[in-house]
Amino acid sequence: MKNLQSEAAVASHPGPAVPAAPDHTQGAAPSGLPPWIKEHWTLLMVSIAGAALALGFFGEKFFGLPPSVALAFYLLSYAAGGYDVARHAVPALFRGEFDIDLLMITAAGGAAVLGEWADGAFLLFLFSLGHAGENYALDRARNAVGTLGKLMPRTAFVKRGDRLEEVPVEQLAVKEIVVVKPGERVPVDGIIVAGESSLDQSAITGESVPVPRKPGDEVFAGTINEDHAPDVRMTRLARDNTLARVMQLVAEAQEQKSPTQRFTETFARRFVPAVLVGTLLVIVVLPLGFGWTWSASFYRGMLLLVAASPCALAIGTPAAVLAGIAQAARRGVLIKGGVHLENLGRVNTVALDKTGTLTTGRFAVTKIVALEGIAEDDVLRLAAAVEEQSSHPLAAAIVQTARSRRLEFPSANAIENLAGKGIRAQVGGETVLVGALRAFAGESAAAQGGKVAVAVAELEGEGQTTVIVRRAATFLGVIALADEPRAAVAGVMQRLRAQGIDRLVMLTGDNASVARRVAEQVGITEVRAELLPGDKLTLICELQHDRGVIAMIGDGVNDAPALAAATVGVAMGAGGTAVALETADVVLMGDDLGKLPFAIGLSRASRRIITQNVGIALGVISLLLVAAGFGAIPLSVAVVLHEGSTIAVVLNALRLLAWHEQGG
């Protein structure tokens, strides 16, 4: 059967090209032929096989064509229809590999021995036609993603001094400033440094409407600039941009095999030799044991050979995996392999991180409680000095607030991150600790007559997150921050429950009051709060032990251990960040939790189609074996049913390219 690995779809753009997989239905033309013949070689061979078969059969039957001339046409049909099959099967046989192509060559050869040239030519014609049809259909699945390569602009307008120069994108360097004109595609990954615009990011993130972008926002190569002409500072080389990485990961994912695919391939490898041995036994035993003629037993053996060939079984699962992964990528969901496609469809429990997953992750400082003798700005200034070195959302909010107040804060050194607790540093020769209540091991209860503990309790009781600031042994104050749930996240939880997800669990390092407030807003009833990263990992393992198949949804950074431990780790992609792409099994490229029900629904549809295809394949094989065993059908009918089932499972798999959540 044809090799289903992904072809070099990204070769047409400057990103990293995925090596082309060998494919014995394509590129099989002998060297030295004109390019147009090589390009249409498969179609040409099928056409010659069909035309020669028709001329030989109808010429002999209806127009008095001499048998010798008809035989010449049949031989031409054999050569054209069997060229590609033999080119693959014969070398495989010498390597000790027995595959389905070998069964077809053997059956056609057997028909020739019996003098049934028309049946043999018909078999090879339909088999080669089936290969061509499979190739066309499966290329549609590949091209659903491969056409993204055409979105990459070849050149960019770069600011160099006072001039704009048009430069090939592969020659650009990081930090160069690119001007993106209205209506054109963004040529690079970068950050807007001047100007605003709206961008159509559907090719990367699957977002259905253009999104506004302003200075400081990230933009991605291949997206469409709708109106103004912003200046973009390049952050990644062309070969490393998000579009190139996504396409390469999709190509690699399409090569990975699902559990069902591995089973069917193992079955086929063992089944083909068994069919050959069984055929040989039929040919030998029937004449010796039951008095059949050799020609009759040989014909029955060839009939069984065609009937038992598991072509549809071998092609049905990888075709569905290919189409499922392609459809997900088109909608902004990156599923990194067939095993994850199948596993996501089996999920019954979903664990979700809070910050950045259920909430926007964009905190704002809501209140500063300064202890006696300390100014609010001094608390904020010192906290910002330490947090400037951190990438945590709370840290970003504190630093942003300090800058908005135009505070100048000192530099910090000897930075030490306390996982899940806070951050410690040296500022002006003194140790400053900024962190959650648990970072102080009960010290805050006695601090300033218990004022720190009281302030923390009051603020957290209002559903806010708190950060305590201490310099040396002196507590300076408490900073309160708030983060709001993502828009429509409550509806996403309802959709998950409607899909049969019967357990939704929030896992967060935040305090219990804040966690419960967010949980009530989004409709989650099970909350596990004040967790360190290691605690999340432990809980995921416990849930997996109790529930079996579990998905963990997180931001791809702090949740990396839990994402790795879950059956399926799903990262909020933040538009395709490198960590998210590399950490999780599934990435929601648009940073949109609303794509999770789509991904689960698509995975379940893929599993249904895989099951249907396996059922169709095994059903047709069983039917043909029974019919062939009793001699109830001729060889030509067996060939038609065999090839028909192969095309049927491919077309069934291609239904996934049109799947959508409602009515999918």
Domain harbouring 467, CATH code: 3.40.1110.10
What is the percent of the chain where pLDDT is above 90? 23
From CA 46, how far away is CA 552, in angstroms rounded? Answer: 49
134 and 169 in one domain? no
**Does any domain span residue 295?**
no
Q: Give 116: exposed, middle or buried? Use CB within 10 Å, 0-12, 13-18, 19+.
A: buried
**Which range has highest mean pLDDT (111-115, 123-127, 494-498)?**
494-498
**Does any domain span residue 72?**
yes
Higher pLDDT, 2 or 622: 622
107 and 11 in one domain? yes
CA distances from 388 to 375, 376, 408, 450, 623 (A): 20, 18, 12, 29, 70
Can you give the CATH number for the domain in which 595 is found?
3.40.50.1000
221 and 145 in one domain? no
pLDDT value at residue 24: 37
111 and 214 in one domain? no
| Last-in-domain residue among 127, 149, 171 | 149
Of 246-250, 358-362, 423-427, 660-664, the range with the lowest mean pLDDT is 660-664
The percent of the chain in helix, strand and coil, each rounded to the nearest 5, is: 55, 15, 30
| Last-in-domain residue among 425, 455, 482 | 482
611 and 598 in one domain? no
Note whether 540 and 566 are within 8 A (CB): yes
Per-residue pLDDT tens over the stretch 432-480: 999 888 788 766 555 555 788 888 888 888 778 889 999 888 889 999 9
Of 99, 119, 353, 510, catalytic: 353
pLDDT value at residue 136: 65
pLDDT value at residue 160: 85
97 and 85 in one domain? yes
Nearest CA-CA partner of 614 in 227, 320, 359: 320
pLDDT tier at 206, thresholds 50, 70, 90: low
Higher pLDDT, 151 or 88: 88
Mean pLDDT of 568-586: 72
144 and 12 in one domain? yes
Mean pLDDT of 50-54: 93
**Does any domain span residue 393?**
yes
Per-residue pLDDT tens over the stretch 350-392: 999 888 788 887 788 989 999 878 899 999 999 999 888 787 7
Note whether 640 and 309 are within 8 A (CB): no
- Residue 160, SS3? strand
Nearest CA-CA partner of 381 in 413, 409, 403, 401: 409
CA distances from 507 to 229, 510, 564 (A): 42, 9, 15
510 assigned to active site:
no
| Last-in-domain residue among 555, 584, 604 | 604
CA distances from 150 to 153, 348, 466 (A): 8, 38, 48
109 and 179 in one domain? no
As a whole number of Å, the end-to-end CA separation of the chain is 29
565 and 491 in one domain? yes
Take residue 428 and report the two structure tokens written for it.
């002006």
16 and 128 in one domain? yes
Query: Structure pTM?
Result: 0.68
99 and 27 in one domain? yes
Task: Name the domain count of the chain.
Answer: 5
Note whether 422 and 437 are within 8 A (CB): no
Per DSSP, 189 falls in state: -
284 and 196 in one domain? no
Sheet holding 550-554, edge to edge: 333-335, 586-588, 568-572, 550-554, 349-353, 503-507, 526-528
**Does any domain span residue 313?**
yes
Q: Give 72: exposed, middle or buried? Use CB within 10 Å, 0-12, 13-18, 19+.
A: middle
**Domain membership of residue 545 as a residue range:** 334-359+485-604
- Using only C-alpha atoms, what is the Rg of the chain? 32
